[in-house]
A and B are shown apart, each in its own frame.
Chain A
Amino acid sequence: MSTLLTRYLNDTLANDVPFSVPAASEITDLSHLINKLLVAADGRSDHKYVEFDFLINGQFLRMPLVTHMEMENISTEEVVEIEYVEKYMAPQPEECIFHDDWISSVQATEEWILTGCYDQTARIWSLEGKSIMTIAGHTEVVKDVAWVKQDSLSCLLLSASMDQTILLWEWNAEKNKVKALHCCRGHAGSVDSIAVDCTRTKFCSGSWDKMLKIWSAVPTDEEDEMEEAANRPRKKQKTEQLGLTRTPLATLSGHTEAISSVLWSEAEEICSASWDHTIKLWDAETGGLKSTLTGNKVFNSVSYSTLCRRLASGSTDRHIRLWDPRSKDGSLVLLSLTSHTGWVTSVKWSPTHEHQLISGSLDNIVKLWDTRSCKAPLYDLAAHEDKVLCVDWTETGLLLSGGADNKLYCYRYPATASDVGA
């Protein structure tokens, strides 16, 4: 028999009396208890039964209390503080958007979803799953897409492709017209990842040619001079170029293998994950290398949460690892989230919740994680029939995942639940 002290953040139950509960009790038992207490405190009979989740020292309770405490080495002699939060509701499936080919990337805003596709196009969809625009222009597979800016009239968006270019597009939502503004040339390999900074004036790109390049995202009317234009006159004649050529503002080299994922972690800090088993943090202004986090597997994807200031990485093993980028040289892996059975191709932190993230894997499953429960995910979203290649999480609580089965799945996830008990 262990004694537990429930700490109530709910006003109705503001007392510090410890409750004695059976050691073998599980989540449902504790839930019943809390519900009864709430009814008693309310004094009303119309209390609706609420399911709760429980946290002990910041870890979700997923098994009987005594087993959990044994595993966590918590003494049963002392008073245990158990925190309760309302149980997160399962993500509700909303849309399934069919593509013509594999979906390589997805990014959504409040209104639209932008996807990159292996049929060399980028597509814009409404949240209801209606195809609004197909942006064709690349000569190779589109590997990554990104929104730059959304005004009422026109939106700026980016698409990176295996044809070594990044195209900056202007999309007029009202007229539904799209126009290639700039063609960013400079990479000597497939551009696998792009990220736009928080000021929406710059973006960076990581490529198979091991280079990280920073570009301006501001549309201009001038064409940058290509340095080696003279070298390849034939090439220029041959390919009909879309938009004006743009050259990078800066090139950061340091990776010894392909860069698989880039992001802006802070205003002037770029984080890049690479196949050379490292995550590097760069100073975007000076172009210098700030620190290196070394793993032992190829990194497929990396994501940064401004809420908890952690990096999450997906690699070519089964684990999602959480890193603290500020640790110097310790390259500290804070946590491993293990439940996938294939490579983790894509991870994305929740923009609104500091503990939650989503991951997609080659085992066809998208998993919703809470970092307080690292052994098991909160939910498995097993809708895909083939490899999951990209996931996204919008601020409005929409989970998106696209994969090699040509389908983009949308889930509505109640973001409100994240605040209870937190």
Chain B
Amino acid sequence: MGRNPNCSPKVVSRCLSQMEEDGLSVDDLFNRCVFRQDERDMLLKAIRIIKPEYQPRLNMHTSKCSSLLVQDFYSERADHIYPKLDFTQEDLQERFKRQLSVEQACTITIDSVEAAKPVTENMAKMRELLAEQRIQWQKILLQALRESKMILAKSNTRDYRLNLYPYLCLLEDKEYVDIMIQSVANLPPSGESLKILARDLGNRVFTKYCVRQKHQNQTVEKLGSVYNAYTDLLAKDTKVYDVLPREQWWKLEMEQSSGPTLQGGETSWPYIVTLELGTYMVDMMVKNLKINSDILNPAYDRKFIPILYHMYTFRSTRQVGFIKPHPILTQMQQEAMETKLTFDSYVMPMLCPPVPWTSVKFGAYLLTPTKLMRTVDGATQHEELLEKCQNLHAIYDSLNQLGNCAWKVNKPLLDIIISIFNDRGSDKLDIPPPLSEAPKIPHFNPQDHSYTASEKAHMKRQVINAKKKCSEMHSLRMDALYKLSIANHMRDEIFWFPHNMDFRGRTYPCPPYFNHLGSDVTRAILVFAEGKLLGPKGLDWLKIHLVNLTGLKKRSSLQGRLEYANTIMEDILDSADNPLNGRKWWMNADEPWQALACCMEIANAVRSPDPAQFISHFPVHQDGSCNGLQHYAALGRDVIGATSVNLMPCDVPQDVYSGVAQQVEELRARDAESGLKIAQVLEGFISRKVVKQTVMTVVYGVTRYGGRLQIEKRLKEIDEFPKEFVWDASHYLVRQVFNALKEMFTGTREIQDWLTESARLISKSGHTVQWVTPLGLPIIQPYHRTRNQVLKSTMQHINLKISHDTKERPDTVKQKNAFPPNFIHSLDSTHMMLTSLHCYSSGLTFVSVHDCFWTHALTVDTMNKVCREQFVALHSQPILQELSNFLLHKYCTGVLTEAKSKKYQEYRRLMMLLAKVPQTGDFDLQRVKESTFFFS
């Protein structure tokens, strides 16, 4: 009606009155609908034909945050100092444009760090060959795609099967082909399962399509203008705001309400469609991509052979469809050592601050669709729950806070790492060696009769092991190559990691390879882009941090660690000055690369005229000591437990692992005395290290099975331990570790049991376990009985085992086993988010790796204070009582009449159990605020 210049007012008014009859308000149209292009303006125009004065009233989403925990945070902002980024507005707007162009391209091609190697004749030849082939393949695929589209277009549309034709028309033909060629280049030599390959291809098409959509809807222009205005909040050369990024973005969007809606345009495709599209493309590749068999060795007969083949591998009784590259292709790719790597654009960190999360569907990257919550492929229950949820402000704000931290590359360290990487790698320093360092695959001819059967069997096993080793090495090497190449590409940039979270609220940076959550190597090459003075205590914190990274002095006070650092200053300076040729003190640290980076920072600081004035970019970490147990101990107010995980102030840190080891040792000594063989064998072998991993993971639900494997690994590392006893000893030890924990953490045990049993009964009653974190994040456990769905493509039937379908009954075992760890994770994520919010309002830089918090040396003390206060605030809430209330309300409000029936009995049992919140002990929570070693 708006588009028609002479639309009769009658039509419009009839329409409006009909809407009124149906209870639809005009304002709702503007508030709830998603508009494309100029749809909104046209709607407004139509309405104004009747009501010329009409202005849509937009609700500002100012509803108060429901959670008591953050009420003050939002209402009392007088003393908040939100940090500014160290950029001018113009600079930020420039960065936005660059990021936009990267995302518009969807892929990005960067130099590999291996490019630095000299080009040999063979390499040059291979590169040339590959380039020629690629042009060929492109042509062939383009033709094949066009032909098959023609066939699909003509095929019977009444067929019950999905016709993929529309999905093949979303992009330019050439774009599909590029996506396919890219996946050939990235195929590992050992192949990839069809399902994964197909999923990746399908996802790429979807991402590309979304980006195109945004173009066509003119969303990009609007995004640009909102973002430009938004930079006003972040830049250093503008006025100080007292609003959060999310609030500002909302306001701006309201102000610029004409044009397309930014929020939530796209809905993701069903998993099965993505897969089917992908399979279709794989099929096309397998059928059409060929190469001459004599391309490398002219001695062979010339045949035109496929470069990819579809075959099966067999895992016990299952067969898994695999796509493998022909050895010729693999050889060419390996020898060419191509200098370019092509990635999807979201793999790269962002060049401008991420778009703040303002709704479930909008945030993070500029154009690339991103989920607020990571889920299993195809699971939708989380998203549904989130969309129903009115107030996730605190969640959005903390994700935005984490994403707004600017980073840069620690160049000296990157150069050292690349030099080792391009040389021969180093297993000790966790730099994966190149394949040329791999064990040679022994060659033997099975027909050779000079070997006995057992010798042949032995050789065969050697070949298998060598191959396995090679493929492991290859995947490690590629992973490192990607990380280092991305880092190298970013070496002179300042960049950001947009964040999202998993279904328990734990936050993660979106770029998959290179981020601060990675290994020691990647963490070491990242520093804050913003520098801050060290201040009076900063240097001390750097030194303490260094000692923490070495893994030494775990039981010393902070003063003790500092003194230790001062005694080894010579080693530290030597490491910084001669990292590879000196005494190499840093190489023996637990986290050698971060230790080296820290050595260098200390060296620079002490050599500066006034260390207190030294500008440091270095992140200092504070680790929760066995964070899971800390939360349990706080929940149960368990005095002994709380003391052993440092909730109670002590002079020296309590070490729960040593405590458990000691307890286990006592149990062992008793058993040894009573003549138990294995207990005798184990004499002198029980140490902190043996039990550490198991203790750490017990709270996260490790089973005896998993625990045994962990302990087995530790025992195997001890050379003196007799190998023949490893199995029995690990069995015995895991039992004792569990017993020791049970004795030490009685309160923990009770809570864990209550959670487990509750989940079991809830699941038995046919429901999935759901709860809400103290910050209001709704959580649902996606574990259901497996349903098989078969995707019948021409190439192969793919059997999808879907275990997240809410229509299936819940998987009781998983629901119950996973509930305690998931619940604890939801608490630790809440604690992290609270800390993040309050750090933001205090103006300091903060990032987290789950239970490890990072900030500048200058602000460590402030962060520690916030962290403790928020822990106390969180646990001052009646968390378990609220959980119990929520569960009762959720699962026990129905009325069952038949008092005698079995169902009723079960219902009553559930109700009684849920109502029976475990008793708490006498621990005074406020003591946490004084505890130095709570996070240290």
Are A and B a genuine interacting pair, yes or no? Answer: no
Chain A contacts to B: CB under 8 angstroms: none
Chain B contacts to A: CB under 8 angstroms: none
